[in-house]
C-alpha cells in the first residue's frame, strides 16, 4: 500500500498551514540566481494544492511573503512581486476550473496597485467556488493581524456597538483574516528551520507542528503525505488529559 493510500485510511487534516522555506538555499545549492529558487518554489505550490485537494484537505494556507521580507533587497522583492502577479494571471483559469477558492491574507495597503488589482481579481473570480480554500499570505505578519483585530474591536467599543466585557476569544477570532475558517490542524515548515516566524500566532495555538529538512522546491506530494502520516500518529489533547 502506498503512503497516500495509507493516510487515506484515517482522517486527514482539514486545514494545513505551510511555511515554505528554502527557496534561496535551493538556488545557491544549484548555482542559480535566487529568483530561480523562487520560481521552482512556485512550481511546488501548484503540486501541493492539487495533492491537498485530491485527498480531502479543505483549507491550505501558505506563507508566501512576510512583513519582514520587505527588508530584502529591492531586486529580490520586485522579482517576487512580479512572480505573484504573473502567477495570478497564469493560474486563475485553472484554479477556477478546479473549483478552488483563493483568499489573500496580509496588508494590501503595502502592495502596489497592480498587485492589489490582480489579487482582487483572483479572489472575485473564485469567491463562489466550493472546493479547497487556498489562502496565500503575502505582506502578512501575525502581530500586525492581531493588532488590526484589536483596533477594529476598539473602534466598535468607541462607537457604542459592543461593550468591552463582550470581547472574548471568539470576538477577536472573528476580526482575524481567517474568520470563519477552522484553525490549522497541522503546520509544516521546510528547510529545517524550527520556528514559526510571526505566522498565524493566534490560529496555531493547538496545531501539530512538523519540521523537515527538505527545501521547499523539493517538497513533493510524497513529502506532504509523510507530514500527514506523522500527524495521524499523534494524539491531540488540546490541553486536556486523555
Distance between CA atoms of residues 131 and 153, nearest Å: 31
DSSP 172-218: HHTTSTTTTSPPPSEEEE-TT--S-TTSSTTTTTT-EEEE-SS-GGG
- All cell numbers assigned to 38: 523562487
Phi-psi region of 99 (alpha: psi -120 to 50; beta: other; left: phi over 0): left
Tell me which residue of 218, 199, 181 sits closest to 13, measured CA to CA: 181
Distance between CA atoms of residues 95 and 125, nearest Å: 10
Active-site choice (50, 53, 69, 183): 69
- All cell numbers assigned to 36: 530561480
69 carries an active-site annotation: yes
- All cell numbers assigned to 217: 522546491
Name the DSSP class of 225.
H
Distance between CA atoms of residues 88 and 96, nearest Å: 11
Distance between CA atoms of residues 96 and 129, nearest Å: 7
23 carries an active-site annotation: no
Distance between CA atoms of residues 117 and 120, nearest Å: 5
Any idea which residues carry the catalytic annotation?
Answer: 21, 69
Amino acid at each position: 500500500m502506498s503512503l497516500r493510500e495509507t493516510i487515506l485510511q484515517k482522517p486527514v487534516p482539514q486545514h494545513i498551514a505551510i511555511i515554505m522555506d528554502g527557496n534561496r538555499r535551493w538556488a545557491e545549492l544549484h548555482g542559480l540566481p535566487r529568483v530561480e529558487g523562487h520560481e521552482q518554489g512556485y512550481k511546488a505550490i501548484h503540486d501541493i494544492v492539487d495533492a491537498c485537494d485530491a485527498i480531502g484537505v479543505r483549507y491550505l494556507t501558505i506563507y508566501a511573503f512576510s512583513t519582514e521580507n520587505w527588508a530584502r533587497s529591492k531586486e529580490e522583492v520586485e522579482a517576487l512581486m512580479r512572480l505573484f502577479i504573473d502567477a495570478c494571471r497564469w493560474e486563475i483559469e485553472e484554479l477556477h476550473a478546479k473549483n478552488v477558492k483563493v483568499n489573500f491574507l496580509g496588508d494590501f495597503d503595502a502592495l502596489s496597485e497592480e498587485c492589489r488589482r490582480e489579487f482582487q481579481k483572483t479572489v472575485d473570480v473564485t469567491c463562489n467556488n466550493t472546493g479547497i480554500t487556498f489562502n496565500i499570505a503575502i505582506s502578512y505578519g501575525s502581530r500586525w493581524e492581531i493588532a488590526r483585530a484589536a483596533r477594529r474591536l476598539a473602534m466598535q467599543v468607541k462607537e457604542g456597538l459592543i461593550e468591552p466585557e463582550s470581547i472574548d476569544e471568539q470576538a477577536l477570532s472573528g476580526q482575524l483574516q481567517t474568520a470563519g475558517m477552522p484553525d490549522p490542524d497541522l503546520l509544516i515548515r521546510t528547510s529545517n528551520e524550527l520556528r514559526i516566524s510571526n505566522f498565524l500566532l493566534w490560529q496555531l495555538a493547538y496545531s501539530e507542528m512538523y519540521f523537515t529538512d527538505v527545501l521547499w522546491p523539493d517538497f513533493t506530494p510524497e513529502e506532504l503525505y509523510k507530514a500527514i502520516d506523522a500527524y495521524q500518529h499523534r494524539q491531540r489533547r488540546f490541553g486536556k488529559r486523555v
